[in-house]
Amino acid sequence: MKGLGTETAFEVLARAKQLEAQGREIVHLEIGEPDFDTPQNIVEAGAKALRGGWTHYGPSAGQAPAREAIAAFFSRDRGVQVGPEHVVVTPGAKPILFFAVLAVVDPGDEVIYPDPGFPIYESVISFFGGKPVPLPLREDHAFTFDLADLEARITPRTRMIIFNSPHNPCGSMLGKDTLRGIAELAERHDLWVLADEIYSKITYEEKHESITQFPGLLDRTIVVDGYSKTYAMTGWRLGYGIMPADLVPHVARLMTNSNSCTASFTQIAGIEALNGPQDDVAAMVAEFRRRRDRIVDGLNAIDGISCVKPKGAFYVFPNIRGTGLKSAQLQTRLLEEAGVAALAGTSFGPQGEGYLRFSYANSLENIERALEKIEGLLAKV
Ligand code: PLP
């Protein structure tokens, strides 16, 4: 069990709640979850599905109408034709990460993943006996990487490349040329690709591009996506993977052995999410953009901090080296002394030293308050 990592966000949240219970005011910028409610049409569809008897076990790979709807959505959204036989529905997107690595990575296999990056990647690679090979994302590369850096990490033992665009924690996105380059490397070296596209609908200037658009890539890619972020459905636990049809029975068997199936009524509500009006998503993204612009400007106005403007997701990853503090020290002092919950960049890998992650999934008013508190604390440092 020592090989299994965690997400610090949940630990910081627990400490912040403890402080709140003691009467302290805390501004929460630690957790990666939209502060909006699930759109009403989806809630109604879920309630109707419950009343309509979608309360039983279902097939491990997902309910047939849900898989159909996901395949149709993916085909029209990414412009790549897939059918329901490519889809596995899971309780949240995370199980797809877990099952994909469990299904294809053998002990000793090397897996390349982004550093900084979502901490669960390294955790599951190590847990299943794989060798995690970090690929540094650098600020002077807009928090992306050179293809040469990626290629240099590929060996005969490399089995899989994991990437995430838009990216948690940096908010960076991979352009079409980089994706084409990854696709070529994956083909040349016969690698699996795990494309975490959970933030694909939360973008500000550029449209998200999927690596599955390149010839042959659907046969070697597992796409991770779901409803948690786009439709503010984190607590519903609903996600899915798009993968080669011959991998689906194996991942479905992992579902049979673990969850049996994803809750049936949530899957039916998910059909409404994909096929119903998308106005609430557009309004949420517009609000995230306003907050992004405010928090980036606000952070850049504070001595010791500089912040690149992210292109997607709802995180900023400011450089805090000018404060003279280590990331973990600033995380602790912000929480304990200033009442601002944030995450040290090192929660996302060693390359995160010198950075913090703030989630701006909080009101503009609270973001203003946090900026004042951060400035107040740094004036004392
Ligand atoms: N992938 C990334 C990059 C994430 O940030 C998250 C959630 O924070 C997930 C996957 C998991 O999403 P879900 O809540 O649907 O399991």
Residues with beta carbon inside 6 Å of ligand 1?
Answer: 32, 92-94, 118, 164, 168, 196, 198, 226, 228, 234, 239
pLDDT over 90 (residue 80): yes
pTM comes to 0.97
- Ligand 1 centroid – CA 32 distance (Å): 8
The pLDDT tens digits for 47-72 are 999 999 999 999 999 999 999 999 99
pLDDT at 9: 84
Closest ligand 1 atom to residue 9 Cα is 8
Atom 8 of ligand 1, nearest CA residue: 32
Q: Which runs of E-coded beta strand occur in the chain?
A: 27-28, 87-90, 110-115, 131-136, 158-164, 192-196, 221-226, 239-242, 315-316, 340-341, 343-344, 356-359
Percent of the chain with pLDDT over 70: 100
Which residues make up the CATH 3.40.640.10 domain(s) of the chain? 44-275
Q: DSSP per residue over 174-218, as a string? A: --HHHHHHHHHHHHHTT-EEEEE-TTTT-BSSSPP--GGGSTTGG
Give the pLDDT mean for 325-337: 97
CA–centroid distance, residue 11 to ligand 1 (Å):
16
Going by pLDDT thresholds of 50, 70 and 90, the confidence category of residue 220 is: very high
Residue where the block lists tokens 């390294």? 122
Which part of the chain has CATH 3.90.1150.10? 8-31+279-380
**Can you tell me which atom of ligand 1 is nearest the CA of 95?**
16
- Span from the CA of 100 to the centroid of ligand 1 (angstroms): 14
Residue 8 confidence (pLDDT): 84
Average pLDDT over residues 367-372: 98
Q: Which CATH class is domain 8-31+279-380?
A: alpha beta
Mean pLDDT score across all residues of the chain: 97
User: Does the domain spanning 44-275 belong to CATH 3.40.1160.10?
Assistant: no
Share of the chain above pLDDT 90, in %: 97
101-142 pLDDT, tens digit per residue, is: 999 999 999 999 999 999 999 999 999 999 999 999 999 999
Taking only the tens place, the pLDDT of each residue in 302-311 is: 999 999 999 9
